C-alpha cells in the first residue's frame, strides 16, 4: 500500500470509528435510542440574519430523529409527560442562568361518524382539509406552554411566556405535514404552519421575541448510508457533491425561539453558552386497561434528565460508549470531573494511528486544542472572560451578523467568524469540521506562534491539514432566510424513489 493510500485508509478508519457520530446526536446513547420523543438531535444558535432582526439571537432545538414523512396515523407529537428545556449561561460559570421550559398537552377532539346507526370515532388524526389554528377537522389538538426560569432550573418557579397578541399562555402547535391533500395543495402546509409563529412577551425582557414549535424538514446533512456500507466513500474526495445527503427524506421536530440579545446577555459578558435537555419523571406506572389516550400511564417523582445536547457530535465522537447515558444525564458544571479524560486524551486519533501508522494522530497531550473547542470556546472568538470548562454551544453575541448569501459553511475555519464553532447556523458543516478538529486542524491553523492560543502547533498534527469530508455540504440557500429558518417538512405523500438524489430547500 502506498503512503497516499495508507493516508486515505487511515481517514476511512476515522470515519468508521466515529460512525455513531454521523447522525449528529440522533440515537447517540443506549437509553435515548429507545425514547425518540425525548432524543435531542441538534442545537443551533446564531444571531438572526433575517433582515432587520440582527439584534436577536435564534435558538433551534431539534428532537425526534429519523422521522419518515409517512409516519401516520399519530405522526410525531412531543411527549406530554416530558419536560423540554433550553438553558443559557450568560456568565461563563458552567451553570444555567436562564431556562426556557416547554410542556405539551394533547387533547382529543375525535370526530364520530354514524355507521349503521351508531356514532363511531374515526381512526385518523384529521377528518377533512386542515386550515387555520385548531380547526374543527383536526382530531387531536397539541398545545404547549413556556416558562422562563432565572437562576438554577429547579431553584425557583417559572414565569409564563405570553402571546403578545392577547396575552394567552397556551400556544397551538401545528400538526405534522400529513400530506398535500390534507392541507389543500402543495403550498397549503407552509401557509398553515406559518400561522403558528407567535410574537411573545418574555418575562424580564423589554422587547418581544418570537416562538415556533413544530415539524420541519431535517436540517442536518450527512452521507450516512455510505458510511454504514463499510464506509464506502472517499474522505479525501470532493467536499461538495461527492455523495448524497441521506437525510433528505426525513423530518424533525423543532423548538424555535428568537430572543433579544439584551435579554440573553444583559451584562458586560457578551458570550453566551446554551444547551438543551429533556427530562422524564423518575417513576412510571402502566395501566393494563386504559380507558382513553390519557389513561395509559401515570408518571411521578422528580424530573430526571435523560437527554443533553450543546456542541454537536460530543457524545458520539468524544464520550466513551459506556458513559454516553451518563453524559446525557449530566450537567455542564460537572464535565471537568466526569469527562475530562475523553477530551484531553481522546481515543479516536490514537486508534486510527494504531491501525494505520501513516495517519499520524496529534501528539500534543493533553489535547488542549480539543479543550478549547469543546469546553471553553476559542479565545478572542467565543470564549467568556472567566470561563469554567464545560461543554455547551457558545456564541459571541457581539460578532457581526453575516447575511445568508455570504455565509461560509466552514465557519470560523474559513474566516466567517459568525459561524461554527462560534454558535451554529443551519448550513454550517459540523461533520467535516469535527472530523478535522479531531485530527488536529486547530493546531495547523495556529501557525508556528500558536496565534489561536490552543496549546499546539502544526508539527503536533501531521494529519491536521487534510480536508477530510463526507462529500455532503449545504449552504444557507438550502434553508430559509426568515425565522424559523428550517424549511417546510416533507409531506406524507412524499415519494422517496422519485426524489432520489434531489436536494430540497
Q: What is the pLDDT of residues 332-341, one digit of tens each?
A: 999 989 999 9
The yes-or-no verdict on residue 350 having pLDDT over 50 is yes
Render pLDDT for 436-447 as a digit per residue (tens, 0 to 9): 888 899 999 887
Categorise residue 485: left if φ over 0, alpha if ψ from -120 to 50, beta otherwise: left
* Dihedral over Cα of 140, 147, 89, 391: its sign: negative
Q: Quick one: pLDDT at residue 356?
A: 58
> Cβ(160)–Cβ(104) under 8 Å?
no
The pLDDT of 61-67, averaged and rounded, is 96
Alpha-carbon distance values, 182 to 78, 196, 250 (Å) = 21, 17, 19
Query: What angle is formed at CA 323 by the lines to CA 319 and CA 326, rounded to 5 degrees?
Result: 115
**pLDDT for 187-199, tens place per residue?**
999 999 999 999 9
Kindly indicate the confidence band of residue 500, based on its pLDDT and cuts at 50, 70 and 90.
low
How is residue 415 written as a grid cell?
474566516
Question: Which of these, 138, 132, 143, lies nearest to 109 by C-alpha position?
Answer: 138
With a pLDDT cut of 70, the percent of the chain lying above it is 90
Residue 167 reports pLDDT greater than 80: yes
Residues 299, 238: contact at Cβ < 8 Å?
A: no
- Res. 319 pLDDT band, cuts 50 70 90: confident
DSSP 8-state code for residue 318: I
Element of type H or E holding 143 = strand 140-150
Q: At what angle do helices 3-17 and 347-355 cross, to 10 degrees?
A: 140
| Residues 15 and 22: beta-carbon distance below 8 Å | yes
Question: CA neighbours within 13 Å on the CB side: how many for 67?
Answer: 34
- Residue position matching grid coordinates 461563563: 92
pLDDT at 254 (0 to 100): 98
Q: Which residue has the higher pLDDT, 29 or 125?
A: 125
Q: How many whole angstroms separate alpha carbon 440 and alpha carbon 429?
A: 17
Q: What is the mean pLDDT of residues 150-175?
A: 95
**Structural domain boundaries of the chain?**
9-478
- Among 446, 485, 400, 492, which residue's Cα sits nearest to residue 54? 400
pLDDT at 61 over 90: yes
Show Cβ contacts of residue 208 under 8 Å, excluding neighbours closer than 6 positions: 164, 199, 200, 201, 202
CA dist 39 → 320, 329, 395 (Å):
19, 12, 23
d(CA 411, CA 394): 14
Whole-model pTM: value is 0.92
Report how far residue 431's alpha carbon sits from residue 393's, in angstroms, rounded to the nearest whole number: 15
pLDDT band for position 246 (cuts 50, 70, 90)? confident
> Is residue 345 within 8 Å of residue 365, measured between CB atoms?
yes
What is the C-alpha to C-alpha distance for residues 319 and 299, in angstroms, rounded to an integer? 30
Q: Quick one: which of 304, 301, 308 has its CA closest to 323?
A: 308
> Average model confidence (pLDDT) for the chain?
89
CA–CA separation, 321 vs 441, rounded Å?
Answer: 25
pLDDT tens, residue by residue, 3-50: 333 333 333 333 333 333 344 667 778 889 899 999 999 999 999 999
pLDDT at 291 over 90: no
Average pLDDT, stretch 84-90? 98
Q: pLDDT-based confidence at 175, cuts 50/70/90?
A: very high
Evaluate whether 130 touches 182 at the Cβ level (below 8 Å): yes
Q: Name the band, by pLDDT with cuts 50, 70 and 90, for residue 359.
A: confident
Length of the chain: 505
For residue 424, pLDDT beyond 80 = yes
Residue 474 has pLDDT above 80, yes or no: yes
| Candidate from 221-235, 396-410, 485-499 with smallest mean pLDDT | 221-235
- Mean pLDDT within 382-411: 97
Higher pLDDT, residue 74 or 146: 146
Structure confidence at residue 436 (pLDDT): 86
In 3D space, the residue among 76, 94, 88, 89 whose CA is nearest the CA of residue 39 turns out to be 76
Euclidean distance between CA atoms 127 and 140, whole angstroms:
11
Which DSSP letter does residue 394 get? E
pLDDT at res. 4: 35
% residues pLDDT > 90 (the chain): 66
Cα–Cα distance, 446 to 101 (Å, whole number): 40
SS3 288: coil
Residue 310, pLDDT > 50, answer: yes
Give the whole-angstrom CA distance, residue 369 versus residue 144.
41
What are the Cα distances from residue 132, in Å, to 169, 287, 336, 426? 19, 36, 49, 28
Amino acid at each position: 500500500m502506498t503512503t497516499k493510500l495508507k493516508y486515505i485508509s487511515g481517514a476511512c478508519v476515522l470515519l468508521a470509528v466515529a460512525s455513531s457520530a454521523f447522525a449528529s446526536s440522533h440515537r447517540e446513547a443506549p437509553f435515548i435510542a429507545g425514547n425518540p420523543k425525548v432524543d435531542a438531535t441538534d442545537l443551533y444558535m446564531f444571531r438572526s440574519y433575517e433582515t432587520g432582526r440582527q439584534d436577536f439571537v435564534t435558538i433551534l432545538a431539534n428532537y425526534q430523529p429519523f422521522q419518515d414523512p409517512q409516519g401516520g396515523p399519530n405522526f410525531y407529537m412531543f411527549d406530554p409527560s416530558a419536560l423540554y428545556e433550553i438553558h443559557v449561561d450568560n456568565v461563563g460559570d458552567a451553570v444555567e442562568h436562564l431556562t426556557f421550559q416547554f410542556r405539551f398537552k394533547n387533547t382529543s377532539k375525535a370526530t364520530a361518524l354514524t355507521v349503521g346507526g351508531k356514532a363511531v370515532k374515526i381512526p385518523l388524526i384529521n377528518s377533512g382539509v386542515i386550515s387555520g389554528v385548531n380547526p374543527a377537522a383536526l382530531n387531536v389538538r397539541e398545545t404547549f406552554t413556556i416558562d422562563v426560569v432565572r437562576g438554577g432550573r429547579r431553584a425557583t418557579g417559572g414565569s409564563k411566556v405570553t402571546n403578545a397578541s392577547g396575552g394567552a399562555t397556551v400556544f397551538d402547535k401545528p400538526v405534522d405535514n400529513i400530506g398535500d391533500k390534507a392541507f389543500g395543495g402543495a403550498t397549503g402546509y407552509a401557509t398553515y404552519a406559518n400561522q403558528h409563529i407567535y410574537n411573545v412577551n418574555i418575562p424580564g425582557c423589554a422587547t418581544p421575541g418570537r416562538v415556533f414549535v413544530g415539524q420541519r424538514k431535517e436540517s442536518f446533512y450527512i452521507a450516512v448510508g455510505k458510511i454504514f456500507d463499510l464506509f464506502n466513500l472517499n474522505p479525501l474526495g470532493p467536499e461538495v457533491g461527492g455523495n448524497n445527503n441521506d437525510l433528505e427524506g426525513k423530518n424533525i421536530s423543532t423548538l424555535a425561539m428568537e430572543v433579544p440579545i439584551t435579554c440573553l446577555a444583559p451584562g458586560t459578558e457578551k458570550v453566551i453558552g446554551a444547551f438543551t435537555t429533556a427530562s422524564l419523571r423518575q417513576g412510571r406506572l402502566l395501566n393494563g386497561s386504559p380507558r382513553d389516550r390519557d389513561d395509559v400511564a401515570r408518571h411521578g417523582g422528580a424530573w430526571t434528565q435523560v437527554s443533553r445536547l450543546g456542541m454537536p457530535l460530543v457524545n458520539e465522537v468524544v464520550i466513551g460508549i459506556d458513559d454516553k447515558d451518563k453524559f446525557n444525564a449530566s450537567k455542564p458544571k460537572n464535565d471537568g470531573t466526569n469527562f475530562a479524560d475523553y477530551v484531553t486524551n481522546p481515543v479516536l486519533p490514537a486508534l486510527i494511528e494504531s491501525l494505520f501508522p501513516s495517519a499520524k494522530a496529534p501528539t500534543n497531550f493533553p489535547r488542549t486544542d480539543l479543550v478549547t473547542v469543546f469546553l471553553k470556546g476559542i479565545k478572542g472568538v467565543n470564549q467568556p472572560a472567566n470561563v469554567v470548562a464545560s461543554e455547551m454551544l457558545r456564541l459571541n453575541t457581539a460578532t457581526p451578523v453575516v447575511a445568508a448569501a455570504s455565509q461560509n459553511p466552514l465557519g470560523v475555519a474559513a474566516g466567517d467568524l459568525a459561524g461554527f464553532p462560534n454558535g451554529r447556523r443551519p448550513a454550517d458543516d459540523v461533520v467535516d469540521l469535527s472530523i478535522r478538529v479531531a485530527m488536529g486542524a486547530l493546531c495547523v491553523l495556529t501557525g508556528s506562534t500558536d496565534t489561536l492560543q490552543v496549546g499546539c502547533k502544526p508539527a503536533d498534527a501531521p494529519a491536521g491539514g487534510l480536508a477530510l469530508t463526507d462529500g455532503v455540504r449545504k449552504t444557507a440557500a438550502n434553508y430559509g432566510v426568515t425565522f424559523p429558518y428550517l424549511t417546510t417538512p416533507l409531506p406524507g405523500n412524499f415519494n422517496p424513489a422519485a426524489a432520489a438524489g434531489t436536494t430540497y430547500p
